[in-house]
Amino acid sequence: MSHAIEMRDLHYRAGKSFEIRDLALNVPTGAMYGFLGPNGSGKTTTIRLMLGLLRPLGGKITVLGGEIPREAPRVLARTGYVPEQPHLYQSLTVDEAFRFHSAFYPTWDRKWADELVENFQLDRGRLLSRLSKGEMGKLEMLLALAQRPELLVLDEPTDGLDPVVRRDVLTAVLEYVSQQNATVFISSHLVHELERICDWVGVMDRGRLVAELPMHSFKNGIKRLRVANAPALVGDAPFVLLSREVGNGAVETWIVRGWQPTMTQYFEGVGAALREVVDLDLEEGFVELLRTFRSPRN
Amino acid sequence: MFRMMLYTQWKWSRLLVVAGTLVAFAIPVLSVQSAGEYNLQHWEARALLNSIESWGLAYPILAAGLAVFMAMTAWGPDHRGRHVYALSLPVPRWHYALLRFGAGAVLLAVPVLAVWIGALVGTASAVIPPGLHAYPYALALRFALALLFAYAVFFAISAGTTRTAGYILAGIGAIIVVQVMARAAHVEFDLVGTIFGRMLGWPGPLEIFTGRWMLIDV
């Protein structure tokens, strides 16, 4: 499997309180990769390192086959980036922002940009400082898409947008991906949004990658189990026990990862009884994953 | 690419450029006009030179002022966006900085031209006494060099982070503290004066701003 983005042993520090250490991340080419994490977990910093906006203290980053930051300009010419905060020059009009942006991208598709302007109902003559948050979000997405990138890096692209605009923006991304087979790296803390569109997921917390796996594994692999007569020690369980809580009576609630239906035999072997297996949705799985990661054992 | 960079720079600094151009044109014209008909017609050379010299201070002040504001407008929008946009564009950082610098420098050529044209108009509208000569080209060239030098310095400072500005201020502060301590200790040591002398006198970098800026001279 080829990777559009690869990070190895990445190390970065911002001040005394925040550090990314030993980060390894792989985004398969053509994937819709959801980058999940709570606020302040290091998602934006990781993206900025990935695009060469920040310089790492150590480690290796390769994006679209180019080494970052050495080959950042060549990589950026093939990458559409929508940052977390609006970053365009506020004193320009929409049309001027187009002209300025397109001057830097030889692959700029003017015809499609015009179509997107119509679809997004943007006023070409309006100053960027006068655009609403939704309009600015659409403009940022438009600029990223109209350069026909091989890789789209979207940092919380729908954060703060109303549902209609959010749908417009995500629809434009999905249409583009279906046409171009581009790779999309999308960071968000809106778990349900990523659940619908992504086929890979990476979870970050406190500057570390907690998990990276295909979305279906993430969604199906994390379960809540109700276990009667649970053993004190788990021993060689075929799954990963994320947490356990004592409930009413002798029944405990276990959160496990990597669950398969055939694993029920384990409980018979240790003298316990599995009463119930509950599917967790992505958000619950995400919360449990973070809770485990943050527990004192880790 | 450069065309769009020039366009944005023009949009951000057009008021400055227009105002600077008007002032740049007016200074040489007014310097000759204010010398007075009497001095020109009666060939009062000393009075004429004194009058021209008194206007000379306006050129370096205008050059420094234009340079500061052009440098600020060159980086201001990028500072407001924390440079994320500029850094995410597919050009090396040095290339982007060069484009920004070039755009500002091109726009600053307009006031330089205005000084030159103003100097030509001013000197053409007066009869210059024998023994004196007009130097419109030399004046405009000196103004251009001073403007470019000041712009380069302020552009570099303005491009820096708050930390860089802090280092510069800390350096200036350290010089002042050393001077104050030397005074307190009754040590004959004029650090500030020495530095100013080295900077402003030949071959110091700021020498171009000092001395006489004469449109008409012997």
What is the predicted pLDDT for the residue at A14? Answer: 85
Mean pLDDT confidence for B69-85: 89
- How many angstroms separate the CA of residue A57 from the nearest CA in chain B? 18
Mean pLDDT confidence for A216-227: 81
At residue A200, φ and ψ (nearest 5 deg) are -130, 155
pLDDT at B178 over 70: yes
> A41: which 2 tokens?
């977990």
Pairwise CB contact (< 8 Å): B7 & A91: no
Mean pLDDT confidence for A196-202: 87
What is the predicted pLDDT for the residue at B11? Answer: 93
Question: Residue B42: pLDDT band by 50, 70, 90 thresholds?
Answer: low
A103 in contact with chain B, both atoms CB, cutoff 8 A: yes
**Which DSSP category does A273 fall into?**
E
Is this complex's ipTM strictly greater than 0.90?
no
Q: Chain A, 69-98: which have a CB under 8 Å from a chain B CB?
A: 73-77, 81, 83, 85-92, 96
Beta-bridged to residue A214, according to DSSP, are A200
What is the predicted pLDDT for the residue at B117? Answer: 95
User: Shortest CA distance to A269 belongs to which of A229, A221, A224?
Assistant: A229
Beta-bridged to residue A35, according to DSSP, are A187, A202
What is the predicted pLDDT for the residue at A286? Answer: 78
- Write down the residue that tokens 């995500």 correspond to: A170
Rounded CA-CA distance A14/B143 in Å is: 44
> A101: which 2 tokens?
């942006």
Question: Residue A183: pLDDT band by 50, 70, 90 thresholds?
Answer: very high
A208 in contact with chain B, both atoms CB, cutoff 8 A: no
Q: Pick the more confident residue, B111 or A85.
A: B111
A105 in contact with chain B, both atoms CB, cutoff 8 A: yes
Q: pLDDT (tens digit, 9 = 90+) per residue, A38-65?
A: 888 889 999 999 999 999 999 999 999 9
Q: Tell me the chain B residues in contact with residue A105 when contact means C-beta distances shorter than 8 Å.
A: 90
* Pair A97, A128: CB distance under 8 Å: yes
B77 in contact with chain A, both atoms CB, cutoff 8 A: yes
What is the predicted pLDDT for the residue at A295? Answer: 66
User: Shortest CA distance to B216 belongs to which of B43, B76, B73, B7?
Assistant: B43
Q: Pick the more confident residue, A60 or B209.
A: A60
Give Dmax over CA atoms of chain A in angstroms.
Answer: 73
Pairwise CB contact (< 8 Å): B90 & A74: yes
Q: Pick the more confident residue, A62 or B200.
A: A62
Helix (H, G, I), strand (E, B) or coil at A282: helix
Q: Tell me the chain B residues in contact with residue A91 when contact means C-beta distances shorter than 8 Å.
A: 11-12, 77
> B32: which 2 tokens?
């000759």
What is the predicted pLDDT for the residue at A229? Answer: 84
Residues 6+ apart with CB under 8 A from B101: B74, B152, B155
Test mutation, B85, B94, B96, chain A, max A CBs within 10 A: B85
What is the predicted pLDDT for the residue at B37? Answer: 63
Q: Pick the more confident residue, A196 or B16.
A: B16
A233 in contact with chain B, both atoms CB, cutoff 8 A: no
Pairwise CB contact (< 8 Å): B90 & A89: no
Q: Strand locations in B117-189, DSSP E?
A: 133-134
A–B interface: beta-carbon pairs under 8 A:
56
User: Shortest CA distance to A170 belongs to which of A182, A157, A181, A183?
Assistant: A157
Helix (H, G, I), strand (E, B) or coil at B138: helix
- Write down the residue that tokens 């407001």 correspond to: B80
* Pair A203, A37: CB distance under 8 Å: yes
Rounded CA-CA distance B71/B76 in Å is: 8
Question: Residue B40: pLDDT band by 50, 70, 90 thresholds?
Answer: low
Q: Tell me the chain B residues in contact with residue A103 when contact means C-beta distances shorter than 8 Å.
A: 1, 3-4
- With a pLDDT cut of 70, the percent of chain B lying above it is 96
- With a pLDDT cut of 90, the percent of chain A lying above it is 35
Indicate the residue of B12, B85, B88 with minimum beta-carbon distance to A91. Answer: B12
What is the predicted pLDDT for the residue at B45? Answer: 74
Beta-bridged to residue A183, according to DSSP, are A151
What is the predicted pLDDT for the residue at A35? Answer: 92
Pairwise CB contact (< 8 Å): A88 & B11: no
